[in-house]
Structure 1
Amino acid sequence: MTEEFHKIRRLPPYVFAEVNKAKAAARAAGEDIVDLGMGNPDSPPPQHVIDKLAETLRNPRVHGYSVSRGIPGLRKAQAAYYERRFGVKLDPETEIIATLGSKEGLANLASAITSPGDTILVPNPSYPIHQFGFIIAGASVRSVPAAPDDTMLEALYRAVRHSVPKPTALIINFPSNPTAYLASKEFYKEIVKFARKENIWVLSDLAYSEIYFGNEPPPSILSIEGAKDIAVEFTSMSKTYSMAGWRIGFAAGNPRLIQALTRIKSYLDYGAFTPVQVAATAALNGPQDYVENMRLLYKDRRDVLIRGLHAAGWDVPTPEGSMFAWAPIPPQFAHLGSVGFSKLLLKEAKVAVAPGLGFGEHGDGFVRIGLVENNQRLRQATRSIKTFMNQHNASKP
């Protein structure tokens, strides 16, 4: 009875816990911490969505069990979104399912399609559920490079040749959390070509589809010919409409994968609360000026953050998508690793960031910085970081 449970043994200690514990202690001591560590939107959802939730709550018939795969109107609204945004036609009955956020959908699909010992290809670094959803399901994970370029493609073909057993699934995520990489349609064409040739499922995480800062919106893998033969894609209301706590997302694409997820979810949940699903339908079907406004808000914050970090002497690339900057640890702090550097930044600059190690061992030279505070707080953070950097530069022998 003293041995740890088998699946728990396969999960490493939660890397973010150390920084979170230090952050909680600092706040308990009355310190003002600028928290840029978690991707938690700080804006409210659109007002008409909140109003629809409140209106629906007053209906006495909506408080029972809901529909696990999503009410019909919500699935139809998601199909309409895909058609106007990506030019992709989807059948709401067989090619779309609502999930309790994209994270739950990814984890449950991993459970549905994985046998113990399967090999899964996952970019490193990447969002933790991308690998641990499959590890919990009993699979082994083989890491591939995270950037959407020839290096990743070469690694995929190499993995097929040298993995035993042969990989059964590949995870991709663009715009990426944490790296902010964006993929082109040309890259997706290569992924579809690879997956169809090797008979490998593709799970695409498109949760940040609407947070981009260039002229070209990020594409969907489902817009590529033949993609629905091998791919399913996850999207979320969390970032697009600032509805993170509402827990509404979707899986769309290959009918066999959607059916597998539908079946396993039917055993696990009754779906999101019906008023939340109704309000999410209003978000998708209603005016979309909110989405554009949030995009401009994050772009403005990005520019404030990157300017401030550059002024502090920290050379951080400018992200073209997502709500994060993927920041290489300054050379003078590289020996600390991402956890040590994050704790030092919290202690001395009063700024919380996410250590890159939490996204995979290849992220240990980086920290993730979220665009989740207003411009005034971001300027406060970068001023503190500048003071922190100057003090350490001055102390060098």
Structure 2
Amino acid sequence: MVNHSHRLDRLPKYLFAKLDEAIEKARAMGVDVIDLGVGDPDMPTPAHIVEEMVSAVRNPTYHRYPSYAGMLAFRQAAARWYEQRFGVACDPASEVITLIGSKEGIAHIPLAFLDEGDVALVPDPAYPVYANATILAGGTPYAMPLLEDCGFLPELEAIPVEVRERAKLMFLNYPNNPTAAVADRQFFREVVEFAHEWDILVCHDNPYSEIAFDGYRAPSFLEVKGAKEVGIEFNSLSKTYNMTGWRIGYVLGSREAIAALGRVKTNIDSGAFEAVQMAGIAALTGPQECVQESVRVYAERRRLLLELTDALGLEAEPPKATFYVWARLPEGTRSMVYCERLLDGSGIVATPGVGFGEHGEGYIRLAMTQPTSRIEEAVRRVSQQPPS
């Protein structure tokens, strides 16, 4: 039998296997499971986007190989959206690349910048792809703890000098998954200064900027002076327009970094289906009332999830953005054990914080991505039978 690579051996163990098994067992036994664990919008993609896709897919022009960098029209739409939303100017020809979902670009960027033994600074807790893509590229992830006392922002000055000297990349993500924390422009200014000093490329993941509440407006990392010289920003249509299955996103910023990522892409993929890119143009340039409606729905679900955490006896801050609630467990409670008990006792699935890194231990994540009636049912179950 052919042995797999040592890179796979370096990947962290899949922590959710036991919980996944318990979910399947519960469903097989007829339990009505309410899954508040997965961050996948349940609302449909807006009709005008779907209609553009239907029209485009019938056009044989879009049936051939797409451009590796993406259609210029899509890149122009993305650049125009960024300028209108954030006041950030990017050249569509050289500072924007279309992605097959932002995850694809995040997974490929370490291949463009890390050699064996180089370091990527990754938040903890975090979206697992940051660390795992680093490992698959032969690099070494260095965990930057996101602690509640620090607003779930990394303490840059706590990073040892010897780590800074080896670091080539820094991954950030605000509004944040899983903590729902937000970052202000002053924090981004400090990141830019740090990146300039230590010659680090900042990779900011920004898919949740439009899922925001109570008048909050999330900034872009690229708004800060000097950011484009040391950074790139990934964005996606998945969360804003309920398009997770469509696999369409983009990255903007440093011309040199965009070119390097483009070289990787030309050797790995063949670009995003152009009919999907046409639908993406419709999303970015069309009516935005659909986004406001999604946020209105999420706001009601946020209220219900906060009722749920209260019924569970957990502490949780109302999130300013994202469709997640990050809830603190009682002192000494292990998140995986808690989630298993919640499933057994109430048929409710939550994501254990430890699955996002060791600094996520002691928390659970709840997603607003189930129909409102299902979240109401979760509240009813817990209210009728509070956890022991």
Q: Cα 1:376–1:151, aligned 2, differ >3 Å: closer, same or farther? A: closer
Q: Per the alignment, in what secondary structure is the counterpart of residue 43 of structure 2?
A: coil
Q: 1:77 to 1:2 in 2, by over 3 A?
A: closer
Larger fraction in helix: 1
Native 8 Å contact 1:147 1:181 kept in 2? no
1:110 and 2:110 aligned: yes
Cross-structure match for 1:357? 354
Question: Which string of whole-angstrom CA distances, capped at 9 and with x for unpartnered residues, describes residues 228-249 of structure 1?
Answer: 1100000000000000000111
Say if 1:156 and 1:166 are closer, same or farther in 2 by CA, change over 3 A. farther
| Residues 114, 139 of structure 2: 8 Å contact kept | yes
Residue 378 of structure 1: SS of its match in structure 2? helix
State the AA in 2 paired with 1:176.
N
Question: Map of 1:148-159 to 2, 5 A cutoff?
Answer: 155-159=155-159
Is the CA contact 1:74–1:280 (under 8 Å) kept in the aligned structure 2?
yes
On the 8 A contact 1:160/1:167 being kept in 2, the answer is no
The change in CA–CA distance for 1:149 and 1:29 in structure 2 (over 3 A counts) is closer
Residue 365 of structure 2 is matched in structure 1 by 368
State the shift of 1:255 in Å.
0.6
Question: TM-score, length-normalised on structure 2?
Answer: 0.95
Equivalents in 2 of 1:180, 1:151: separation in Å? 10
1:235 aligns with 2:232: no
Scaled by the length of structure 1, the TM-score of the pair is: 0.93
Matched residue SS, 1:217? coil
Partners of 2:286 and 2:164 lie apart in 1 by 49
Identity value in percent: 38
1:3-152 to 2 correspondence within 5 Å? 4-146=4-146
The CA distance in 1 between the partners of 2:181 and 2:207, in whole Å, is: 13
d(CA) in 2 for partners of 1:36 and 1:66? 37
Between stretches 236-245 and 68-77, larger displacement belongs to 68-77
Alignment match, 2:307: 307
CA distance in structure 1 between the partners assigned to 2:167 and 2:63 by the alignment: 43
| Structure 1 segment 277-288 matched on structure 2, within 5 A | 277-288=277-288
Deviations 1:208-243 (A, max 9, x none): 111111323100010111111100000000000000
2:216–2:320 Cα contact (<8 Å) kept: no
Query: Quick one: distance in 1 between partners of 2:362 and 2:126?
Result: 14
Q: Which residue is equivalent to 2:324? A: 324
Q: Displacement, 1:166?
A: 2.5
Contact preservation (8 Å) 1:148, 1:183: no
Match of 1:267 in 2: 267
Question: Does structure 1 retain, via aligned residues, the 8 Å contact 2:152–2:179?
Answer: no
Any idea what the Cα deviations from partners look like across 1:260-299, whole Å, max 9, x if unmatched? 1111101111112111111111110111111111111111
Does the 8 Å contact 1:149/1:187 carry over to 2? no
Q: How far did residue 2 of structure 1 move? A: 7.5
5+ residue gaps, structure 1? 393-397
Bigger shift: 89-98 or 378-387? 378-387
2:338 equivalent in structure 1: 341
Aligned length: 388
**2:142 aligned counterpart, secondary structure:** strand
Measured on the aligned residues, the alpha-carbon RMSD in Å equals 1.9
Is the CA contact (8 Å cut-off) linking 1:148 and 1:182 kept in structure 2? no
